[in-house]
Structure 1
């Protein structure tokens, strides 16, 4: 069951959500085309909540099973062809902080540097976006965001890209929220490019008395 993949601190904070997580787990495990791989579904919860000072919210995993790996917007290291949204994130990163911050495009290290890469829906079906929207993941991740903010005691920066992510804004009223359109090619030109989320985030962290994030990827 997915709850076995949670860090003990998350188990404590989400104890009232575990019955829902069990229901979701059963539904996901009955879908042979579910992605990411079962051992990666709860990957973002391997670290305790206090290890995170930044939250980046995605919608659901990449529909390509070779890309989906349990962290929003990230793909496995040495992926030869990057998804378009990730390409646009890296383009904005280079424009915001400088091209020297982008090398191989592997953003998984961000999760080890204080950034929670959370999808609102933690699973989908292979080659089908949004396939698991009705399983209750949004209710579960709503609770996750609420508990993360409580644990951070207001010292949290949330980067919300796109309408789905920005639905969480009311639950983040005690945090710094940086919002813009989604980095998808369908919306990036409507305000994602030029939004400078990385430098704005680091500025906000310093104002909160926290260390900046090393955004190199």
Structure 2
């Protein structure tokens, strides 16, 4: 199966193209055998289509995609409108609300607006939430980029540093233009 990515991304990840093609091939084979995968195959690489490479300023990594039709949509922590906001995202909204008084907690978990935001002073801000996400820190060039790490915002670990981490304020301080986190 040939991997198709939008302009900019394909050139950026050319060294990983074989691995990505292999992942997509494995997922397709699983689906052909009746296995339901989350997110759906057409959403596995959704992040690349939502945000052009030249616009990337903040990357948020978590642990695993949500499971369930309509919940898993290929974007970290996001769920489609019409589905209950998951506990981890509820905690993210709480943290933003505690940090940024003008933030209004939305009644949905569709964060695609965040894919279209901001400009940076330089480099990318990588937000690594949880142990699994934190293992990617060695892959990030810290001479050009900023890494923010803390416990996953899950109800099981949010009290271990996620609450009160001020990541959203720090992100806004690092960007040319502050993000309006309202949806």
Structure 1 length-normalised TM: 0.74
Instruction: Say what the alpha-carbon RMSD is for the aligned residues.
Output: 2.1
Q: 1:45 Cα shift?
A: 0.4
Divergent runs of 4+, >4 A: none
SS at match of 2:70: coil
Q: 1:65 Cα shift?
A: 2.5
Q: Please, which runs of 5 or more residues in structure 2 have no aligned partner?
A: none
Distance in 2 (CA, whole Å) between partners of 1:95 and 1:183 is: 14
In the alignment, what sits opposite 2:81? 77
Aligned ranges 1:117-196 → 2 under 5 Å: 155-172=123-140, 173-174=142-143, 175-196=145-166
Q: Please, which runs of 5 or more residues in structure 1 have no aligned partner?
A: 116-151
In the alignment, what sits opposite 1:211? 177
Q: 1:179 Cα shift?
A: 1.3
Q: Does the C-alpha gap of structure 1 residues 55 and 114 become closer, same or farther in structure 2, counting only changes over 3 Å?
A: farther
Deviations 1:59-102 (A, max 9, x none): 221022221001000011232x2111111111111111126432
Q: Does the C-alpha gap of structure 1 residues 185 and 24 become closer, same or farther in structure 2, counting only changes over 3 Å?
A: same
Structure 2 length-normalised TM: 0.86
Q: 1:153 Cα shift?
A: 10
Q: Does the C-alpha gap of structure 1 residues 202 and 153 become closer, same or farther in structure 2, counting only changes over 3 Å?
A: closer
What is the aligned residue count? 175
Q: Does the C-alpha gap of structure 1 residues 75 and 96 become closer, same or farther in structure 2, counting only changes over 3 Å?
A: same
Distance in 2 (CA, whole Å) between partners of 1:44 and 1:190 is: 28
1:104 counterpart (100, 104, 107): 107
Distance in 1 (CA, whole Å) between partners of 2:156 and 2:95 is: 15
Residue 36 of structure 1 contacts residue 70 of structure 1 at CA under 8 Å; is this kept in 2? yes
In the alignment, what sits opposite 2:15? 16
